[in-house]
Every structure is written in structure tokens, then in C-alpha cells.
Amino acid sequence: MASQQFKQISVLTASTAAFTLCFAVWVMFSIIGIPIRTELGLSQTQFGLLTATPVLTGSLVRLPLGMLTDRFGGRIVLVVLLLSTVIPIWLISVATQYWQFLVLGLFVGAAGGAFSVGIAYTARWFPKERQGLAMGIFGAGNGGAALTKFIAPSLLVAYGWQVVPQVYAVAMLAMAILFWLFTYTDRSHLVSTNVTVREQLTVLKDPRVWRYCQYYSIVFGGYVGLSLWITQYYISEYGFGIQTAALIATIFVLPSGVIRALGGWLSDRYGAHSVTWWVMWVSWICLFILSYPQSEFTVQTANGGTISFALGLNTWVFTALLFVVGIAWGFGKASVFKYIANEFPANIGVVSGIVGLVGGLGGFLLPIMFGALVDFSGINSSIFMLLYGVTTVSLVWMYFTEVRRADVLQPEHEK
């Protein structure tokens, strides 16, 4: 019989691998959507909707999947979820019309719900003092977005975009089998069958849940939104080809995914609040700079002549700032769920489902809003102006509910 430690490692490894693949599938349209956009003659807004459609379903199913995980266990729920996406993924390769891609995207998007299943399933196998690290390692499966940016462009150029969903469908079937073989069920992790759905959802009345939703809407929703859009951004703003643009985009996507494990460790050591507070400030500063558009202006000189200046971020400065934002968001994704593990240990599946749902909805809405902003203004960097505004809301909310409140409650002799 396998030891407890072996089961912990096996569950964590299998869950992380499954989530990585699910995330790669979830953002598949960020790459294959580019040639589809050309074939169908889509606008920026239509492209944004195409890339975001899977994110909508993946967000909406997170809450019910989290509740099912609490009730039946993550092993069976995740296997059924993986199997349910195989056929829709394959059918994308034979779709020819815009509405067909949107409908199939809704079904494929269910893969994004793997997060709320895996995070609750994994966390319960570890003691409280190690949950932050365990959830951070699992959450590093966000790096699946980078997997798509590495693999999909090469397959697309060599064999056509239709091969990408075919490869992912086969991989999803294989992952379902492997996950079942290398994971376990512990019935002590399940909530009592006497607990009703209404009782599970009472946490919706807790204002802390909605605060964490706001934080997650930027650190995760912003990450998903940019992961879907950033390849297109590099093509439009800097004139790169799709392979080069996707490769450079991984400088943001990959570190932000895998650094989540370190963010979990830091949250265990220094607390969720401290990590999240610094995440918001770093994001706020970098997004402010990234918001500045490519500009030219002319100054009238004293001798009647003119001097022209060009201001803007070159590729490398832009990418460096984006890298910093990605690292910050990677830490933030882990620290938000450390809050949840600390404050809602008995309802982690439900609360993670709620927070994951709202964060995922951010990832759905942002690409559509990105496309609408670019279509309306013609300014590519307007997408960062939007992200800057969302981050500002999070900072203000955090200050008044955590920072200022903690200072008010602190005894006078400790100030």
C-alpha cells in the first residue's frame, strides 16, 4: 500500500500535469485564432471574442466543479472533465465557419474548470503549513499557456492550424487515463453528504470572498487576457511574424505560470497579505509605463525651426516590463489562494470555485474589451490602460479593507 507521502507527490504531479494540458487547450485560440482570423476576415473585436469564448465556459463551470469536488472528490471529477473535452477539441479541426468555432470553443472551454477541481483536490492532501507551496506548484500549470505558444506555432507552420486541435485531443485522452492510474481518493477529504448546496453557497455572503475575487480578476484574469492577446500585440505593434511573436510572448507567459510555486512558498513564509500588497504596487507602476502609446511630437524652437521627438517603448524595454508584470502576477495568483486556504479551510472547493470563476470571467471579458478599445481608439497600448485601471481598484480596495484597518486595530503602544 502506498505511503501518504508517495500519494501526496503522485497526486500533486498528476494534477499539475493535467492542469498544464488543460490550460494549453484553454488558450489554444490565441495561436490558431490568428490564421482563422485571416481566413474569415475577422475584426479585432471578433478575434477577441473568438479567443475569449473558451474562457467564458471555463470560468462559469468553476463554481459547480468546485462544489462537486468537495462532494465527490477531485479524482473522478477531473477524469470526467478531461474526457468530456476530447471530441469538441477534435471537431475544431473540421470547423469552417465563425459560429462553429464559437460553439466548439464553449465546449472546449470546460477544460479551464480543471483549476477549481485540482486546487481543492491537491490542497487537501497537504498540511496547512505546506498548502501554499503545494497550491503554488499546482498553479504553475498556468505555464500551459507557454506550452501552446511553443508547440502550436511550429505545428501550424509545418502542417496547418488544423493539426493543433487534433494533437491536443489525443493528448487529452491520454492524460485522462494517466490521471486515473496515478491518483487516489481519500474519503476523509469529502464534505458531509448532509451539507446542502444552499449551505455550501453561504460563503457568498462573506465580503472577503468578493475582495479576493477582485484581486484574482487582475492577477489571473489579466494573465489570461494578456496570454490570449499578447502574440497578436507583438504582430500588430512591432511587426513580428507569428512564430517570433509567440516565442517572445513566452517571456511573459512562462515565468508568470511557473513562478507561482515560489509565490506559494513566499505566502507560506511572509503571509498572503504582504505578498499581494507588493504584487499590486509593482503591477500598478509597470502597467502605468506600459500604457504610454508610441508618440511623436514637434516643438517650435526660438529660431523659428522645429524639433521632433519620438517617445515609446522599444521591443526589449516593453518585454522587460511585461516580464516583471508576469512575475508579480505569478506571485499574486498564489497569494490569493493562500488567503482562501487560511480563511476557508472547510469550503476551499466552493470558495476557490467562486474566486476562480470571477478571475476567469476577467480573462473572458478582457480580450473582448481589448479588441473593442483597439478598434475604437486605434491605440494598441490602450489595453494596458484598462489593466492599470483594474489594478488601481484592487489597490484602493486593499488599502481600505486591509492596510488601513490593520493600522486602526493595532494597539497604540505598538504604533
Three-class secondary structure assignment of 117-129 = HHHHHHHCCCCHH
User: What pLDDT score was predicted for residue 1?
Assistant: 55
User: What pLDDT score was predicted for residue 277?
Assistant: 92
User: What pLDDT score was predicted for residue 64?
Assistant: 86
Structural domain for 17, as ranges = 4-414
Question: Do 374 and 44 form a contact (C-beta atoms < 8 A)?
Answer: yes
The low-confidence residues of the chain, meaning pLDDT below 70, are 1-2, 189, 191-197, 200, 346, 404-415
Number of separate domains in the chain? 1
End-to-end CA distance of the chain: 55
User: What pLDDT score was predicted for residue 153?
Assistant: 87
User: What pLDDT score was predicted for residue 411?
Assistant: 44
The full length of the chain comes to 415
User: What pLDDT score was predicted for residue 192?
Assistant: 64
Each as own residue / partner, the long-range contacts of residues 375-384 (CB below 8 Å, 24 or more positions apart, any chain) are 375/43, 375/44, 375/45, 379/293, 380/233, 380/236, 380/237, 380/293, 381/237, 381/290, 381/291, 381/292, 381/293, 381/294, 382/291, 382/293, 383/226, 383/229, 383/233, 384/287, 384/290, 384/291
User: What pLDDT score was predicted for residue 306?
Assistant: 82
Bridge partners (DSSP) listed for residue 295: 311
Question: Do 51 and 30 form a contact (C-beta atoms < 8 A)?
Answer: yes
User: What pLDDT score was predicted for residue 200?
Assistant: 67
Distance, in Å, from the CA atom of 285 to the CA atom of 164, rounded to the nearest integer, reads 37
Distance, in Å, from the CA atom of 252 to the CA atom of 329, rounded to the nearest integer, reads 10
Read off the CATH number of the domain in which 370 is found.
Answer: 1.20.1250.20
Q: Is the pTM of this model over 0.85?
A: no
- The per-residue pLDDT for range 206-259, each reduced to its tens digit, is 888 889 889 999 998 898 889 888 888 999 888 888 888 888 888 888 888 778
